Amino acid sequence: MKAYGYFTSKKYFKRVLFSIMLTMALILTGLSATNTYLLERSVKHVQEDANLKVLTQTQYNLSYMNEIIVHLSSFAYRDNALIPLMFSNNLPKMDYIRGYQQMYNMLESSSFLHSMAVYNATTGELYGSSSDFLVDGGTTKSSILEWLLHSSSGSLPTSRLIPFSLHNSSNIDSFAFIVTDTYNSFTPSQSAVILFIKPDWVFESLNKLNGVSSGNSGEILIRTADGQLFNNGHSEQTMPLDQEAIGRLIQEPDGKTGGTNGSGFVIGNSGGNKVMITYLHGIGDWTILYMQPYKEIMQAVSDMRTRNYALTGAFILLSIGISIWLSYKLYGPIEAMLKRILPHMRNNGPDSRTRNELDVMSDVYEQLSGQLQEISSEQIVRKYYVRKFLTDNRSLSELDMQQLIGKHELKLIPTGPFTVCTLRIDRYDDYDRRTSPAMKKLHRFAVTNIAMEVMARSFHCEIIDMQEDHFTLILSGSMEADAIKRAIADVQQVLERYYDLSLTCGIGEAAPQLSQLSASYYQSYQLSQYSILMGYKAIIEMQDIRTNLENKQKSLPDDVEKKLSEALKKGKLTDSGSELERAFDLLSKMQLEDMQRAIADMAWLIKNAAADITNNRITHLSVDIERIPLLPRDYYTLDELHLAFLSLCTAICEEAKPSSMERNEMIIETVKELIWQKYSDFNLSQQSIASTVKLSSAYVGKLFKDSCGLTITEYLNDVRLRKAQELLLKEDSTITEIMEKVGYGNQSYFFRLFKSKFGSTPKEFRIKKSIS
């Protein structure tokens, strides 16, 4: 009762642990019992297979011996020395001696013959080869004659092995084999030769095969058709033989019978003992049985069961001890937590200490939930006023805003100055499509807390989630611009490392008063949108885009758009690439709104040019014309847009070129232009150039060689070396720096090419030019 009371005590988590432990104990016990049962079945099947193999070998031995005896008996029955013993009324002495000598010779020549006897039906005399006939006063002779002439089983069969016992017991003294001039049963009116075979020849072969002679207490038996059981006369009988019980076992219809070979395997009782019997039909109507004590066979299983139960009990006791120890160890923090919680509970009455932990924690949760709601309400109010400061502060005076900062404990210095920073998520449309709502919520929480933690180390600040694609920081007090940029860079680095978030930051100009926060916020947000120009994760200040803001150009010049359209329609890739380069150079200097509008106009220009090409040709372009105006929506920086437009123009020009000759010239000019534009790229090669123009390397190489008389690699080296020569004359950079600027990474290779072309090394060339 005490154990049950402890189990149902307030320590709920301990009860869980104990329940798991008890369940595991029951499972272990069940597994142990199941394992023992399966092991016992396995031992039975293995023992059955082994016994059947042994009995099959014995059957073979008996069959083999029977064949030998048949041949030997036929020879003996027709032997001239034995015929007088069988049929002479008055046996001459010499015939008597010759007959005995011949029987002796036969016994010597056969290892399995025990003795021989010749029966003369005329005289009723029995002549035997055994010395027992001579020295035991005729006892053996009388026993054999009695068995031969007055057998209890009736007539004796001929030409068949017959178990024979001198003392009418279950022990077999030998196997008798009677030979007459017919195959009918023996009658006293027939002379016969009787061969007596040693029983050991059968039983010992079985003993050696199955290890019976090595300590196994199994018993080998032969059962005749009349139900009599015989065993080896020289073996010690270890089990009582119950002939009726054994007969019933091997004849039961529901026993485990062997099928076509007449074999079987049964377990039952014989003489009050549980035995396992394996049987197999042998020669004629015999049945060979191998009887074993079931207890001894299953001794190993019993030992295994005892060991399993002992081990299971030991493990259960060990698990109980460990579970109790673990329960106290694991329950320690919960108990300590309860000790800290209980004194602070509002309803800390006597019943609170008798309830389980979950009830106590539920009460604590309800109390904390109420407090959190109060805190959350305060947080909502704080966020409301911070957002109002940024987006709509016209209804608040400077003094009202300063009082709100003090009332709601905002982490801002009311007297300023104030700097507003906007953190904007890069590639927001793509981010919004691929990110789940739960992950977005996590990211917003992470950005708000990480930014606040990092910035609060150095500044008085507040951060607000403005929803959609950006967050806004308000920094107050005197501060250096470089310090702000370093802190913002730390925030960007942490968010990219742990959350794979890329943010661009716009830093507005300092606002001396709270009433100017709104203008500073809109300025910082506009600056963050200039990531289209400055790239991802940029930190953008007003000075970085001042040139753009001062630029009054609203659109691309008409001649740029016209030349681009004509180049596309004529399939001139070089001209269209040049015009694109010029267009994007102009775009990079425009204001944001003008830049976006001009990009959209250029997309429509390219679409219209592609449509004109399609209308003037039988075949259509493979380019999806309808998607061209949507191209600016898929890319977020000028560099990305430039590459996308260049790829689009390349595809259009490739299909719009007028002839193969002009096409070849276009490819060659494109290769040259790529080499002049990218000669400083270490990875620039014939393969990369071919990949850029979307042709095979071998085709581009052959086309260039046929047209220019030198390979692409030779032309590339020529451009790089001439550029290196120019830099050696104009710049004070080291030779290694110049080598890297023109695209060489291996100094020895660069020196070898330079000397081969100009007759001197770069160093010697620079010295000669400086002297001259």
> For residues 480 and 255, which has the higher predicted lDDT (pLDDT)?
480
| pLDDT of res. 470 | 92
Check whether residue 584 and residue 723 sit in a common domain: no
Question: pLDDT at residue 354 above 60?
Answer: no
Domain hosting 240: range is: 218-297
pLDDT-based confidence at residue 660 (cuts at 50, 70, 90): very low
The residue type found at 720 is R
Contacts of residue 593, Cβ cutoff 8 Å, sequence gap at least 6: none
Q: Does 18 map to a domain?
A: no
Rounded Cα gap, residues 273 and 746, in angstroms: 95
Domain with residue 684: its CATH number is: 1.10.10.60
| pLDDT of res. 333 | 75
- pLDDT tens, residue by residue, 732-765: 888 888 888 888 888 888 888 888 888 888 888 8
Contacts of residue 43, Cβ cutoff 8 Å, sequence gap at least 6: 297, 298, 300, 301
Check whether residue 517 and residue 390 sit in a common domain: yes
Q: Does 620 map to a domain?
A: yes
- pLDDT tens, residue by residue, 710-731: 899 999 999 999 998 888 888 8
Query: What are residue 115's DSSP bridge partners?
Result: 196
pLDDT-based confidence at residue 397 (cuts at 50, 70, 90): confident
Please, is 124 exposed, middle or buried when counting C-beta atoms within 10 Å of its C-beta (0-12, 13-18, 19+)? exposed
pLDDT-based confidence at residue 189 (cuts at 50, 70, 90): confident
Domain boundary among 611, 636, 653: 653
Q: Does 772 map to a domain?
A: yes
Rounded Cα gap, residues 104 and 113, in angstroms: 11
- H-helix or E-strand containing 60? helix 12-77
Domain boundary among 524, 548, 572: 548
Outline where 457-572 has alpha helix (H): 481-499, 517-528, 531-534, 546-550, 558-570
Question: pLDDT at residue 432 above 70?
Answer: yes
Question: pLDDT at residue 697 above 60?
Answer: yes
Please state, for a pLDDT cut of 90, what percent of the chain lies above it.
Answer: 16
Rounded Cα gap, residues 331 and 356, in angstroms: 13
Query: What are residue 117's DSSP bridge partners?
Result: 128, 194
| pLDDT of res. 172 | 74
Question: pLDDT at residue 11 above 70?
Answer: no
Q: Does 346 map to a domain?
A: no
Average pLDDT over residues 672-689: 88
State the CB neighbour count (10 A cutoff) for residue 314. 10
- Note whether 466 and 387 are within 8 A (CB): yes
- Note whether 221 and 230 are within 8 A (CB): yes
| pLDDT of res. 471 | 93
- pLDDT tens, residue by residue, 87-100: 888 888 888 888 88
User: Which DSSP symbol is given to 415?
Assistant: T
Q: Does 740 map to a domain?
A: yes
| pLDDT of res. 764 | 85
Contacts of residue 451, Cβ cutoff 8 Å, sequence gap at least 6: 423, 463, 471, 473, 491
- pLDDT tens, residue by residue, 108-143: 888 778 888 898 888 888 888 776 665 677 778 888
Domain with residue 279: its CATH number is: 3.30.450
Any idea which of 200-214, 328-342, 372-386, 458-472 has the lowest mean pLDDT?
200-214
Check whether residue 184 and residue 271 sit in a common domain: no
pLDDT-based confidence at residue 692 (cuts at 50, 70, 90): confident
pLDDT-based confidence at residue 213 (cuts at 50, 70, 90): very low
Q: Does 352 map to a domain?
A: no
Most confident of 85-99, 320-334, 430-444: 430-444
Most confident of 212-226, 395-409, 415-429, 617-631: 415-429
Any idea which of 232-241, 327-336, 649-658 has the lowest mean pLDDT?
232-241
Most confident of 209-213, 323-327, 546-550, 766-770: 546-550
| pLDDT of res. 598 | 92
Averaged confidence pLDDT in the chain: 80
- Note whether 126 and 117 are within 8 A (CB): yes
Domain boundary among 653, 672, 687: 653
Tokens of 299: 């001794």
Check whether residue 558 and residue 543 sit in a common domain: no
| pLDDT of res. 488 | 93
Check whether residue 712 and residue 627 sit in a common domain: no
Please state, for a pLDDT cut of 70, what percent of the chain lies above it.
Answer: 82
Any idea which of 37-51, 173-187, 198-212 has the lowest mean pLDDT?
198-212
Question: pLDDT at residue 235 above 60?
Answer: no
| pLDDT of res. 148 | 82
Any idea which of 48-57, 246-255, 620-629 has the lowest mean pLDDT?
246-255
Q: Minimal CA–CA distance to 758: which of 733, 716, 714, 722?
A: 722
Question: pLDDT at residue 395 above 80?
Answer: no
| pLDDT of res. 450 | 93
Check whether residue 397 and residue 440 sit in a common domain: yes
Check whether residue 688 and residue 627 sit in a common domain: no
Check whether residue 406 and residue 540 sit in a common domain: yes
Question: pLDDT at residue 525 above 90?
Answer: yes
Q: Does 505 map to a domain?
A: yes
Rounded Cα gap, residues 200 and 213, in angstroms: 12
Any idea which of 30-39, 363-372, 610-619 has the lowest mean pLDDT?
363-372
pLDDT-based confidence at residue 255 (cuts at 50, 70, 90): very low
Check whether residue 385 and residue 481 sit in a common domain: yes
Domain with residue 380: its CATH number is: 3.30.70.270
Check whether residue 393 and residue 534 sit in a common domain: yes
Number of domains in the chain: 5
Question: pLDDT at residue 10 above 80?
Answer: no
| pLDDT of res. 539 | 94
Please, is 290 exposed, middle or buried when counting C-beta atoms within 10 Å of its C-beta (0-12, 13-18, 19+)? buried
Check whether residue 518 and residue 575 sit in a common domain: no
Contacts of residue 675, Cβ cutoff 8 Å, sequence gap at least 6: 684, 689, 712, 715, 716, 719
- At 566 the three-state DSSP class reads helix
Peptide bond into 417 cis (omega under 30): yes
Q: Does 193 map to a domain?
A: yes
Check whether residue 289 and residue 422 sit in a common domain: no
